[in-house]
Chains A and B, each alone.
Chain A
Amino acid sequence: MLFKRFYDTILFMPILEVNNLKKSYDSFEALKGISFVIEKGEILGFLGPNGAGKTTTIQILLQIITPEAGEVKLFGMDAFKNRETVLQRMNFTSAYVYLFGSLTVWENLKVFAMLYGIQGTERISKLLKEFEAEDLKGKKAVTLSSGQLTRVMVVKALLNNPELLLLDEPTSSLDPDIAEKMREILKEIHRTRNISMLYTSHNMAEIEKMCSRVIFLSSGEIVANDTPEKLTRLIPNHQLRVTFEGEPKDAAVFLEKHNIRGKVSDHTLHIIAENEEIPAILGKLYGAGYKIRDIDIEEPDLEDVFLKIARESSAKK
C-alpha cells in the first residue's frame, strides 16, 4: 500500500500542475483561469496568436510575473512558496533573451553555473563539446551569430540538468536552417535526457513536429488540449487537387451531379472532401473518362484546427 502511494505520487506525479491561473493587465484579461498539467517526459506545445497568453503563462511559471489567482505546482511543490527550489530544477531559453554581451561565452556560462550552484567547470566543458560549441568559448557573447547564440543558450539551459525546460518561441527570429538545427537539438535533448518541455510558438508546423500534446490558447483561455493527431481529426475535410491532361470538359456539371464541393481552374479541380470520400471521388472521375495527370491531397494541419477553433470561439462570444 505504502509502495503504491509512493509509486503513484512520485512516479506518476505531474512535473507541472497549473490550476485556475488568472492574470490581468489593467482591464485586459491575459489569462482567464487556465488549468493544465505536464507529465514527465512530455513535450507540451502552447499555440496561440499574439496576446493569447502563452508568454504570460511561461513568465508566471518562471516567477517573473505574479499571477492574480491560481495555483502552480512544480515537482509536487507550491512553486510560489518554493521559488529557489523549483527554479533550481528547471531552466528556460528564448529567442528574445541574450547573454551578457561584454563577457565571453565561457565567462557567461561560468556565471550561470554559479547561479545554479554548479561546482567546477566539467559540466560546462562537457555540454560545450556535446553541442559542438567548444570553439565559441573564448568569443564575446555580443559577437555571436544567431545560430551560435542559440547553441550557447541551449548549453546554458542544460547547465543545471533541468527536469523541465521552458522554451518561449525558441526558433523565432532564426533563419530556417538554424531553426531546423535548433529543433533537432531539442529533440535530441528530449530523446537522450527525457526532459519535460513546455514549448510556445506561433509556428503550427513546428509545434506539430515537436510536441506530444498541444494546448490552444485563445484570448487567455484553453480552447483545445489534445495530441496533434487527435486535434487534426477535428477537421474532417481534406483538400484534393486533381490536375487533368487538358481542359476537363463539363467538370462543373460533374461536380454538381455528384454533389461534390469544389471548383475548376487552370486544368485543375479543387475539391474539399472528407478522407473517406476521396477514393470514391477519384473512382468517379476515372469512370467519367477524365485523364488525370496529377493528384495532390492536402491533409488538415494544426493551422486549420486553430483557425476552426478560433472561429468557433469568436462565434460563441
Chain B
Amino acid sequence: MYWPVVTLAVWGFITTYLQEGAFESQGASIVGMFLGGITLWMLFQRAQQDIAISYLQDIWSRSIVNLYVSPMTNAEFIIASILVGMIKVIITLVVMGLMSALLYSFNIFTLGFSLIPFTALLLVFAWALGLFITGIVFRFGTDAQVLAFGASFVLQPIVAVFYPLSILPTWIHPIALAFPLTHIFEGMREVLATGNMPLEALWWAAGLDAMYLLFGAWFFGKMFSHVKTKGLLAKLE
C-alpha cells in the first residue's frame, strides 16, 4: 500500500497545482519548477541513501564486524560515507544539470549563488535522516533495509517538492513546515520566480537542519550503544 499511496498523493497534488495554474501567476516557468524540484530532490535522496547503504553493504557482505574490530571509529565511517556521498551528489548534479540544459533548455545554475546554500541545507537534512535510518537498520537489521531506499518518499508529497505549500491542505502545513525540505523547495521556487534569495526560508531550514542533525546523531549513537549492549553487531544480517 505504501508506494500506491505515496504516488497517488504526489500526483494528486501535482494535478491540483497544474489545474489551478498557480505557477503562471508566479512568473516562473513550469519546466524550471519541476526540473529544479526533481534535481534537488535527487541530490537529497542520493545523499540520504548513501549513509544507510554504506552500512547495509557491509551487513549484506557480512563484513561489518571486520570494520568494527579495527581502530576505525563511527565518526570516521560516517564522514567517509558523507565524502563519498558528496562525490556522487556532484556527479548527479552535473549529469542532471547537463540533461536538463540539453533536453529541456533549463539551466539549474539559474538558481545562481542560492544553489549552494540550498544544496548544503538539503544535504545536512539528508545526512540527519541517513543517520536516523542507519540507527534503525542497526537495531532491526536488514528487516528495516527498505527504509534506506523508501523512507524519503514518505516525505515527498508533504515537503512541497513539485508544488507550493499552498496546494497542500492547511492541516498538513504545520507538518510540512516542520521539515527543512519544505523551506528549501519553497525558497527554490521563490528564487526561480523573483530572482531574490529568501533569507527567512534559509534560516528556517538551517535551524531545523541543526535540530534534526543533532537528533539523528543522538539516535544513531543510542542505537549503536543498544546494539553493543545486546551483542547484535555480529548478528546483523
- B65 interface neighbour in A30, A64, A117, A142, Cβ under 8 Å: A64
User: Which B208-223 residues have C-beta < 8 A from chain A?
Assistant: none
Contacts of A83 in B (CB 8 A): 71
Contacting pair A100 B63 (CB below 8 A): yes
B63 close to A115 (CB less than 8 A): no
The answer, yes or no, to whether A59 is at the interface (CB within 8 Å) is: yes
Given A59-B231, A66-B229, A115:B58 Cβ within 8 A: no
Min C-beta distance of A31 to chain B, whole Å: 11
State whether B72 touches A115 (Cβ < 8 A). Answer: yes
Chain A residue with minimal CB distance to B72?
Answer: A115
B73 in contact with A100 (CB, 8 Å): no
Q: List the A side residues contacting B57 at CB < 8 Å.
A: 100, 102
For A65, the chain B residues whose CB sits under 8 A away are: 228-229, 231, 233
**In this assembly, does A3 line the interface, its C-beta being within 8 Å of a C-beta of chain B?**
no
Are A112 and B62 in contact, with the CB atoms below 8 A?
Answer: no
Within B77-135, the residues touching A (CB, 8 Å) are none
Q: Are A98 and B234 in contact (CB under 8 A)?
A: no
Contact code string A42-81 (vs B, CB < 8 Å = 1, else 0) = 0000000000000110010011111000000000000000
B58 (CB) vs chain A CBs: closest residue: A100
Q: In whole Å, how far is A7's beta carbon from the nearest beta carbon of chain B?
A: 29
CB distance from B124 to the nearest CB of A (A): 27
Q: Does B170 contact A (CB under 8 A)?
A: no
Which residues of chain A are within 8 angstroms of B231 by Cβ–Cβ distance? 23, 25, 30, 56, 59, 64-65
Q: Chain B interface residue count: which class?
A: 20 to 34
Pair B66/A112 contact, Cβ less than 8 Å? yes
Answer yes or no: A92 CB below 8 A from chain B CBs: yes
Tell whether B203 is near chain A: CB-to-CB under 8 Å.
Answer: no
Question: Chain A's nearest CB lies how many Å from the CB of B234?
Answer: 6
Residue of B nearest to A90 (CB): B69
The answer, yes or no, to whether A236 is at the interface (CB within 8 Å) is no
Q: How far is the CA of A59 from the CA of B228 in the complex (A)?
A: 9
Bound: A41/B58 CA distance, A = 33
Residues in chain B near residue A88, CB distance under 8 A: 71
- Shortest A285–chain B CB gap in Å is 55
**A36 is an interface residue with CB less than 8 A from chain B:** no
When A56-B231, A59-B231 are in contact, do A91 and B69 touch as well, CB less than 8 Å? yes
Does A84 contact B69, Cβ atoms closer than 8 Å? no
Chain A residues whose C-beta falls within 8 Å of the C-beta of B65 in the assembled complex: 62, 64, 92, 94, 97
Instruction: Tell me whether B19 is interfacial, beta carbon within 8 Å.
Output: no
Q: Is the CB of B71 within 8 A of A59?
A: no
**Docked CA distance A115–B80 (Å):** 12
Chain B 7-55 interface residues, beta-carbon cutoff 8 Å to A: none
A99 interfacial by beta-carbon distance below 8 Å: yes
Interface status of B144 (Cβ within 8 A of chain A):
no
**Quick check: B230 and A115 within 8 Å, CB to CB?**
no
**B70 engages A112 (CB within 8 Å):** yes
CB of A232 to closest CB in B, whole Å? 32
Identify which of B58, B60, B228 contacts A64 (C-beta below 8 A): B228
Shortest distance from the beta carbon of B73 to any chain A beta carbon, whole Å:
7
Indicate if A22 sits at the interface (CB-CB under 8 A). no
For the complex formed, measure the closest distance between the CB of B54 and the CB atoms of chain A, giving whole angstroms: 11
Q: Mark A85-123, 1 if CB is under 8 A from B, else 0.
A: 101100110101111111000000000100111000000
Q: Which residues of A contact B70 (CB under 8 A)?
A: 87, 112, 115-116
B178 within 8 A of A: no
Shortest Cβ gap from B60 to chain A (Å): 8
| Residues of chain A lying within 8 A (CB to CB) of residue B228 | 63-66
12 A-B pairs in the complex with CB atoms less than 8 angstroms apart: A25-B231, A56-B231, A59-B234, A62-B69, A64-B234, A65-B231, A84-B71, A87-B69, A99-B63, A101-B63, A115-B71, A116-B71
- Known contacts A64-B233, A97-B66, A115-B70; 5 additional CB pairs below 8 A are A64-B234, A99-B61, A102-B61, A115-B67, A117-B71
Query: Which 4 pairs show the lowest CB-CB distances between chains A and B?
Result: A115-B70, A84-B71, A101-B61, A62-B69
